[in-house]
Amino acid sequence: MPTLINLFRRGRKEDKVESSSQTFLKAMPLRDLTDLEVIKSEVQSGNIVILKITPLASKSVEDVKKAVSELCAFVESIGGDIARLGEERVVVCPPHVKIWRAGSPLPSEPVPTAI
């Protein structure tokens, strides 16, 4: 019987070739301040990054504050978006992706959804 992972992986040629016209959602741990350069590079490439900040927070809360501050400044400079996802995660988006927030007005037209 195929495993759940194999069901999702089967027949996906795009796993082998990354195209600059595609946007990927990448999950990464934030272990050290030096990880910020990789994160910035991913976002500049057009990818969405979900960061798990717990590894760095267990070492230094001050470093987490520095990292988030630096990412906020970076995202603002490129016109992207950043938001907290609960207590352990942060999502960082490139300029062509915006994060909906509960206080944001809903569009007047229906939002298309995948079927």
Domain 21-93, architecture per CATH:
2-Layer Sandwich (3.30)
What pTM did the predictor assign?
Answer: 0.72
Provide CB contacts within 8 A for 81, sequence distance 6+.
Answer: 75, 92, 93, 97, 98, 99
pLDDT > 90? residue 104? no
pLDDT digits (tens, 9 = 90+) for 77-100: 999 999 999 999 999 999 999 999
Provide CB contacts within 8 A for 82, sequence distance 6+.
Answer: 71, 72, 75, 90, 91, 92, 93, 99
